[in-house]
Structure 1
Amino acid sequence: MALWTMILRKMANNKWLQLNLWIGLTVCVALFSSLPLYSEAILQRTLLKEVQSVQHEENVYPGYIRMSTTVSAAQIDDKTITAIQRADRFVQSIPERMGLVALSFYQQRSTQRMKVYGADASDQEKQSQKAAGSIKSHSSIEKHVRIVDGRLPIVRTDGVMEALVTEKFLIAVKRDLGKELIAESPEKDKFRVVPVGIMETDPTANLYLPFLTNEDSDGFIIPYEQFESEFVLGGKTRLSSLEWKFALDYEKLTVDTIDEFVQADKEIRRYFRGRIGVDEINIPSAAIIAGYMDKQDKLDIMMLSLYAPVMLMLAFYLYMAANLIIDRQKTEISVLRSRGASRFQIMMAYTLEGLFLGLSALAVGPFLGIAFTKVLGASNGFLAFVERSALDVSLSSDAYKVAAAAVAAAIILILIPAFMATRVSIVSHKQQAARLNKPTFWHKTGLDVVLVAVSVYLLYNFNKRQDDLQRLGLDSDSLQLDPLLFFMPSLFALGGGLLLLRIYPWVIRLVYHAGRKWWLPALYNTLVQISRSSGQYQTIKLFLIMTVATGLFSANAARTINDNMESKIQYAVGADIALTTRWQSSASPAIYGSSGQPVQADNGISQTKRVQYTEPSFVPFQELEGVEASAKVFKKETARYTAASSGVNGTTALYGIDTMDFGSTAWMKSGLLEYPINSYLNLLATNAKAVLISRSLAEKAKVKPGDTMRISWDGLDQAPFVVYGIIDYWPSWNPLAGEDGEKQEKPYLVVGHLGTIQNRLAIEPYEVWMKLKEGVSSQVIYDQLENEKLSITNLRDATQELIQSKNDPFRLAINGVMTLGFVISMLVSFFGFLLFWILTLSGRTLQYGVLRAMGLPFSQMIGMLASEQLLTSGAAVFLGVMIGNSISALFVPLFEMSFATSDQVPPFEIIHQLSDYVQLYGIVGFMLTAGLLILGYRLSRIRIAQALKLGEE
């Protein structure tokens, strides 16, 4: 009890220090707990979104499962009956195996196909009748169809089966409802069937699992119980197929149950493989869900690597706060040691104190982690947020496990200064207090040089790997961002900061000696204080260096990744929307052989007649509401060229444009061309025969501006064009070779006037490019295209592709964690900065009191404090900017490896955004200004008499 009393009193005496330490612990817990929370939440959201895409792509419910099998047995024996019954029981267990609830289910059985004719049919009619169908059953037919005419069938005992049929089948058998029909099997078994109802699909009956009668319209549907007794158990004829269908509640699928789903999928396929007959399993969502098992592991590694710099910052903050607290209590610790207290007893007291703070942080931190996770989910870029639907976040055991581990590690970290302090006696403590400029541990051990050397070595390896990828033309699409890309800059920032801090005291001494005859008393005192107590400022300076450096790197890395991904999409599309429409033509329908390949018509005589196209009206696209500009863009990838000067010929891509419309519509990143794209368009507009050619074509054909080229394609005479300019890039054109690198010939391009190409060569289908007005959504355009009944054959929407890219869990993680890390680093830096300087000011109360007593004006006292901050904190910020720019220049280019080397167009570019620097400098400036005002206020409240009395005591 006495120990707890002492601990509580000690904490009360240092309440502001303890509060800072608790804040650091709480943020640490929140950050670590948000790691599994975010990983699970974002994967959960993207998992459901991708599973939902099945409905758009395959027009089936995302939770759809279909299992079917043929029945290979020629006769239904006991073995076959047992196998069917076991299969039924296995199917019923599937929802439980997958961990999901069945929203709808039905099973179907069918016999072999039989010849169907009227019971009153004559021999001639029987012979001429072509109608055929099977007898089927449906486990819940009344819930899936609508009775158009007649009624539902019932089980009869007179040997006649009542059935539902479709109107199409009833017409085929040429009989009315209520008329008896005969179904005759190949074995000449005859079954009497009476159609009593005409059915059709009821779209409102079962939204999850509709029964489409038009897909299986031939045959009779009899009551399920009757089918089981007559054909499954009775074995009256051969069975053809068995089918089971589920609609599972996919929205209940979680990342934690993915393993169950994937395992169940494997078990289903393994169970039905050849057990009864030839099986067919259709689970459309299976491939998407299975892919998330690997994606979760990669995202966890990615998140951990992204969090590494922030974790390092928090570790520094906790160590600094604990060290400052212990520094104030070293005298107390040394007194306790001199009076007989053991190191174990002292460490026990600090351990209990740490446990108290840790448990209280553990109680609050995970809830703050939920807030962090929601911030991550709302990120749309670096320091950019959107009103995206909130992540569904709930605390889990994994979050508490990670948080508890973080608390344990943090407690060990903050106990290190206490453990070191227990080794110090009163005498050695006084000696250490007088020698604040002695080398630190990391400088004595050369840790700064080691860290810089390791990071440079890793940088060398990454650069070598990137050169190999570019030289070989390998596609690195399969590579995710390497975790070391985020960890290496932190190592370099830490090592570089320590290395500069090794040199910085010598710079201060040089400044001191250079102007010691002219310095004002305040600046003179500051230079002496800093040069003699350099070790006192090491922690705060390193803390600020790390904050500023990692903040700049995070900003530049996030901007670079986002900009390059977005530019790649916009360049590939060429405009906001690019689409193609169906053109009427004179082409004959293709004839396909048994192999599925098209064959020649007219008895093998090839047709040389060119296909003639009728150009549809372009006016409807120009009149769409919300479209700012539209353009026709003709593309012919297999045009042929001949250079008049050199005679070189070959194949090239040919683009045809209207210069005015194209300039108003197309998207082009600045800096890709030697001159702005509008300058090239203006040049092109001066001559109807003018063309622009790619540099690759100019080099191969030895063509220069002013030369003539002849262009055509199959079945056309060549037309002359004049080269007016040479270009390296053009919207939607990829100038890079394919995956074979040097082995593949470079792409070539010719850009000319669409009107000239159509007049001199031919009119063929072109793309329609559209630029939307600001704030207009793509759905507005889609609705108008549908209302106008425009036949769209292909469409690419840059806006939707950008949204899909931004919703990628890996990109969300990068933007969210870097933004959150930057904000947390700035906040922690502010608290750490105030904590250090307030304690420093409190520790030098006597010094300031003596200076005031000696007559030093208060203005010079403030100047002394400001110059001390400028030469320590300000210098640290300056060094942080230097290191931040250095690691950005060294390490951000490595992110190019995460982009495909074969289609990264525009080329990878490092992005520095001025607003990021303004925000960083603004935050740091506010921190220094607020700190100076707070310290000045506290300095103004120092009472000289109390300070001198404190010195006497």
Structure 2
Amino acid sequence: MALWTMILRKMANNKWLQLNLWFGLTLCVALFSSMPLYSEAILQRTLTKELQQIQHEEGVYPGYMRIATTVSTSKMDEKSIKSIARADRFARAIPDRTGLDALSFYQQRFTHKMKVYGADADEREKQYQKTAGSFKSLSDMEKRVKLIEGRMPADRQDGIFEALVTQKFLFAAKRALGEELILESPESDRGTFRVIPVGIIETDAAADPYLPYLTNETEDGFLIPFEQFDREFVKGGKARLTLLEWRFALNYEQLAVDKVEPFTQAVTDIKRYFRGRLGVEEVNIPAIETVSSYQGKQEKLDIMMLSLYAPVMLMLAFYLYMAANLIIERQKTEISVLRSRGASRLQIMTAYVIESVMLGIAALAAGPFLGVWFTGALGASNGFLAFVRRSALEVSLSSTAYKIAAIAVGGAILLTLIPAFLATRVTIVGHKQQMARRSQMPFWHKAGVDVILVGLSLYLLYNFNRRQEDLRRLALDSDALQLDPLLFLMPAIFALGGGLLVLRVYPWLIRLVYWAGRRWWPPALYNTLVQISRSSGQYLTIKVFLIMTVATGLFSANAARTINDNMESKIRYAIGADIALATKWESDAPPPLSTASVPQAGTGSESLAETRRVQYTEPPFQAFEKLEGVESVAKVFRKPDARFSAGAGGTSGKTELVGIDTMAFGSTAWMKGGLLDYPINSYLNLIAPDPKAVLISRSLADKAKLKPGDPIRLNWDGLDQAQFTVYGMIDYWPSWNPLPSAAGNDDKAAEPHLVVGHLGTVQNRLAVEPYEVWMKLKAGASSQIVYDQLKENRVQVTSLRDATQELIRSVNDPFRMAINGVMTLGFVISMLICFFGFLLFWLLTLAGRSLQYGVLRAMGLPFRQMIGMLVSEQLLTSGAAVVIGVIVGNATSELFVPLFEMSFATADQVPPFEITYQLDDYLRLYGIVGAMLTTGLLVLGYRLSRTRIAQALRLGEE
């Protein structure tokens, strides 16, 4: 009981310190618990949206599943009947296998097709009647079809089948409802069946909103009761079965991310079961490709979030250690006294363990709920420090989140106990000796930790950059590089090492300042310089903390801005304009030939097909120019497989040919600045006067040894060459990828080539072929307005790319949302704990130097000069740390932000990855740090004004 009393009394005496420590522990728990919460919630929302998109694009319910199998046996023996019964049982168990409830289910069975004619038909009619149909059955037939005439069929036992038919099939049979029909089997036995159509049906969409029975899928047949079909054809074997079918509408909303792997495994098991069991199987699940793409995605997202969180967690760990160390520093005298009076280290550590566990339990109680809030902030992130009103993520605390939170609390508690463990080794004598040797060199300085950290991070960076160069040289995708979480920990390692390296030199700078003006410095500044130069180790903690905070915040800001800017530039460059579309052109091209009618090799018809050119008719272009909401529109002809011939040696090869109208293209196309030697409009103005002028890629110029003024000949299949004149070289052009496309046998990727010329000249001297239509929208105009007008004008669009829509999809990508959210959250948390850490350190420092300030006041130092001393001390420590943090943060960004190029496909990274700095981020950072320092000075000044001289002196005597 005495131990508990001592612990509670000690915590009450240091309540503000304990509150700061609890705050750090709670943040730690919230960060760790938010990782699984976010990855699960955002992937779940994305998966659900992508499944809903299937319904929007393909018009099929996302949970639709169709399983069909042919029946290879011609006779129904006992073995076949049992196989069909087992297949039925397996099919009905599919919802349980997939873990999803069946919202709807039905099955169908079909016999082979038979000749259909009227019972009263004569021989001539039988001979010329071409109608064929089969018997088919549908489970729950009465509930699924809509009877528009007649009645439902009865299960008769007199050898006559009553059936439902469609209106179309009844017309083909040339008989009326109620008239008897004969089905004659094409098999060798020539068996016949008597059928009377008693009802006409059509699709009843209202009968089942998830899985409607569509009568137009199989219109040529007689629908009879399911039980009758089973008795007569499955068990009775009166006609050969050809197809069995089961259809499901599974509740896709129950498909959680953690059920993706069991679901895909269940689909694999279904395919394996039906493969060859009864015949040829067909398993149609439209959502399986989307669902399969999520396999392992949560693990990758968790790893990426852990990597992105690493700098923030390192800084948070530093904060926890600093808070715990400050608490222990205040209690070192008490600990040393206890040790000197016989208390064992185990007893002292037990007290601190209990104290830390109490704080940890309190953090564990509040942290996960704060993690839910963090998850909501991540889900609402639309960019760095930008939030939008998205539908809230459905987040629920899970056992996984609590397990990770408990592990985080355990690790944090061990971290905070390190200072206490070190303090228990010191007796009262040793403690007094340490207080007298506060100017001793810190461990990191003697061990060279700063040099080791910087060297390690630069070595890892070198290896990474070397592998990236190999990817570019071989034109491989970034997936070829294994993602190492350590790559994202490198910025934090470098920032810490760089900060410590600068702090190694900083005391010498202070001494230089002191030495340079020691005769002129006022007393307040003189005292500050002496204090800082003699006790530099005292300020090491806060300086490292501020450097880490500012550097991490800047790195987060620059990384997020860079990723967002490069992703937007990549999408806009690849499309070339706001909207790029292609329309259907009329031509004299013959319809595609069937396989049976394709001429054999070596015949004259094949040769004719090869040489004959297709003639196209250009559709009216005025309709695009009159579209509302469109600022400008341009024709862009692209021929990827054109050929060139140039140079004295007759160098030839493939090239992409682009034909444009220079004025319209310059007003419509999007081009990022800095990619070309001159603005793109300068190149357009260069070739505008000469119809034969072309621009060529630098790769083509190097290959063919071309320079401005040289001729170049162009053509493609079936055309004579036309001569043009080279006017300039370009490295990039809207929508053209200059990067090597694929590696060849010699491990060297093939470089693409480009020629840009006048569209009119290409059409006049070569051929008129379909071109793309590029559009630039007016400010504030919506793409939907353009779509509606195109639909109203009946423009047949064959392909379309919309930059706005692709940007929206990119922003909603779980991985990009995680990057933006984590970077934003990291920046905010960095600034928050920076403020608390700053106040905590300086308030404790001020309290520990009360005697010094009391003596100075007693000596007659004015309060104004004491405030000046406090301000100069802040500027030379905290202010200098902020400046160093900015320098280290910029260096970290320059070196390590390019790591995020792995987020993009290496072979498609055009324009080149470029680091983006935004002034607003720096102003925001300076504003936050300035407000923090100002607030801290006001608080410290207020505390200093409340210090009484006599009380301070009495405290010193005690």
1:155 and 2:155 correspond? yes
C-alpha distance in 2 between matches for 1:401 and 1:306:
20
Amino acid at match of 1:869: Q
Whether the aligned pair in 2 keeps the contact of 1:354 and 1:411 (CA below 8 Å) is yes
Partner of 2:308: 306
Report how far residue 698 of structure 1 moved: 2.6
Report how far residue 65 of structure 1 moved: 0.9
Whether the aligned pair in 2 keeps the contact of 1:436 and 1:534 (CA below 8 Å) is no
Q: 1:513 to 1:561 in 2, by over 3 A?
A: same
Identify the range of structure 1 (740-749 vs 136-145) with the bigger mean alpha-carbon deviation.
740-749
Whether the aligned pair in 2 keeps the contact of 1:442 and 1:448 (CA below 8 Å) is yes
Report how far residue 854 of structure 1 moved: 1.1
Report how far residue 648 of structure 1 moved: 4.3
| Number of residue pairs aligned between Structure 1 and Structure 2 | 953
C-alpha distance in 2 between matches for 1:288 and 1:478:
22
Amino acid at match of 1:69: T
Amino acid at match of 2:776: K
Q: 1:468 to 1:597 in 2, by over 3 A?
A: farther
Structure 1 counterpart SS, 2:121? coil
Amino acid at match of 1:458: L
Structure 1 counterpart SS, 2:458? helix
Report how far residue 57 of structure 1 moved: 4.8
Report how far residue 925 of structure 1 moved: 1.8
**Deviation by residue 1:463-507 (Cα, 9 ceiling, x = unmatched):** 221222223332324557542221111112222222322332233
Partner of 1:661: 664
Q: 1:330 to 1:412 in 2, by over 3 A?
A: same
Structure 2 counterpart SS, 1:163? strand
Q: 1:713 to 1:471 in 2, by over 3 A?
A: closer
Identity %: 72
Whether the aligned pair in 2 keeps the contact of 1:591 and 1:601 (CA below 8 Å) is no
Partner of 1:458: 460
Whether the aligned pair in 2 keeps the contact of 1:592 and 1:599 (CA below 8 Å) is no
Partner of 1:606: 608
Structure 2 counterpart SS, 1:153? coil
Structure 2 counterpart SS, 1:389? coil
RMSD between aligned residues: 2.2
**Deviation by residue 1:216-254 (Cα, 9 ceiling, x = unmatched):** 111111011211222223232222111100010101110
C-alpha distance in 2 between matches for 1:936 and 1:884:
30
C-alpha distance in 2 between matches for 1:169 and 1:703:
70
C-alpha distance in 2 between matches for 1:520 and 1:527:
11
Partner of 1:355: 357
Identify the range of structure 1 (411-420 vs 776-785) with the bigger mean alpha-carbon deviation.
776-785
C-alpha distance in 2 between matches for 1:64 and 1:857:
83
1:25-424 correspondence to structure 2 within 5 Å: 25-185=25-185, 186=187, 187-424=189-426
Partner of 2:12: 12
Report how far residue 875 of structure 1 moved: 1.6
Report how far residue 210 of structure 1 moved: 2.3
Partner of 1:764: 769
Partner of 2:816: 811
Amino acid at match of 2:370: L
C-alpha distance in 1 between matches for 2:599 and 2:573:
35
Partner of 1:675: 678
Report how far residue 407 of structure 1 moved: 1.0
Q: 1:481 to 1:892 in 2, by over 3 A?
A: farther
Partner of 1:920: 925
Report how far residue 602 of structure 1 moved: 7.4
**Deviation by residue 1:817-861 (Cα, 9 ceiling, x = unmatched):** 111111111101110001000110111111111111111122211
C-alpha distance in 1 between matches for 2:155 and 2:275:
34
C-alpha distance in 1 between matches for 2:708 and 2:269:
67
Whether the aligned pair in 1 keeps the contact of 2:162 and 2:197 (CA below 8 Å) is yes
Identify the range of structure 1 (771-780 vs 103-112) with the bigger mean alpha-carbon deviation.
771-780
TM-score by length of 2: 0.96
Partner of 1:526: 528
Partner of 2:475: 473
Structure 2 counterpart SS, 1:394? coil
Amino acid at match of 2:796: S
Report how far residue 344 of structure 1 moved: 2.0
Report how far residue 581 of structure 1 moved: 0.4
Whether the aligned pair in 1 keeps the contact of 2:694 and 2:757 (CA below 8 Å) is yes
1:541-560 correspondence to structure 2 within 5 Å: 541-560=543-562
Report how far residue 735 of structure 1 moved: 1.8
Whether the aligned pair in 1 keeps the contact of 2:719 and 2:766 (CA below 8 Å) is yes
Whether the aligned pair in 2 keeps the contact of 1:645 and 1:707 (CA below 8 Å) is no
Report how far residue 678 of structure 1 moved: 1.5
Q: 1:55 to 1:635 in 2, by over 3 A?
A: same
Whether the aligned pair in 1 keeps the contact of 2:145 and 2:202 (CA below 8 Å) is yes
Partner of 1:850: 855
**Deviation by residue 1:553-595 (Cα, 9 ceiling, x = unmatched):** 2222222222222211111100011000011122222324349
**Deviation by residue 1:109-159 (Cα, 9 ceiling, x = unmatched):** 111222222112223322332222211100023333322322222222332
Q: 1:215 to 1:598 in 2, by over 3 A?
A: farther
C-alpha distance in 1 between matches for 2:640 and 2:428:
85
Whether the aligned pair in 2 keeps the contact of 1:477 and 1:898 (CA below 8 Å) is no
1:699 and 2:699 correspond? no
Identify the range of structure 1 (734-743 vs 925-934) with the bigger mean alpha-carbon deviation.
734-743
Whether the aligned pair in 2 keeps the contact of 1:111 and 1:136 (CA below 8 Å) is yes
Structure 1 counterpart SS, 2:110? strand
Amino acid at match of 2:494: F
Partner of 2:956: 951
Report how far residue 609 of structure 1 moved: 4.5
C-alpha distance in 2 between matches for 1:714 and 1:263:
48
C-alpha distance in 2 between matches for 1:799 and 1:109:
48
Structure 2 counterpart SS, 1:267? helix
Whether the aligned pair in 1 keeps the contact of 2:473 and 2:748 (CA below 8 Å) is no
Structure 2 counterpart SS, 1:146? strand
Amino acid at match of 2:4: W
C-alpha distance in 2 between matches for 1:6 and 1:901:
62
Amino acid at match of 1:36: P
Structure 2 counterpart SS, 1:560? helix
Amino acid at match of 1:439: M
Identify the range of structure 1 (355-364 vs 435-444) with the bigger mean alpha-carbon deviation.
435-444
Partner of 1:734: 737
Partner of 1:830: 835
Identify the range of structure 1 (263-272 vs 170-179) with the bigger mean alpha-carbon deviation.
263-272
Report how far residue 900 of structure 1 moved: 3.0
C-alpha distance in 2 between matches for 1:438 and 1:776:
67
Identify the range of structure 1 (461-470 vs 392-401) with the bigger mean alpha-carbon deviation.
461-470
**Deviation by residue 1:340-390 (Cα, 9 ceiling, x = unmatched):** 332222222221211211111111111110110011111122222222222
Partner of 1:566: 568
Whether the aligned pair in 2 keeps the contact of 1:475 and 1:739 (CA below 8 Å) is no
Structure 1 counterpart SS, 2:310? helix
Partner of 2:872: 867
Report how far residue 601 of structure 1 moved: 9.6
Identify the range of structure 1 (380-389 vs 821-830) with the bigger mean alpha-carbon deviation.
380-389
Q: 1:506 to 1:461 in 2, by over 3 A?
A: same
Identify the range of structure 1 (54-63 vs 310-319) with the bigger mean alpha-carbon deviation.
54-63
Q: 1:507 to 1:140 in 2, by over 3 A?
A: same
Report how far residue 457 of structure 1 moved: 2.1
Whether the aligned pair in 2 keeps the contact of 1:112 and 1:240 (CA below 8 Å) is yes
Partner of 1:440: 442
C-alpha distance in 2 between matches for 1:739 and 1:651:
15
Partner of 1:938: 943
Identify unmatched segments of 5+ residues in structure 1.
none
Identify the match of residue 508 of structure 1 among 507, 510, 525: 510
Report how far residue 644 of structure 1 moved: 7.6
Amino acid at match of 1:782: Y
Structure 1 counterpart SS, 2:216? helix
C-alpha distance in 2 between matches for 1:719 and 1:270:
58
Report how far residue 416 of structure 1 moved: 1.4
Whether the aligned pair in 2 keeps the contact of 1:485 and 1:895 (CA below 8 Å) is no
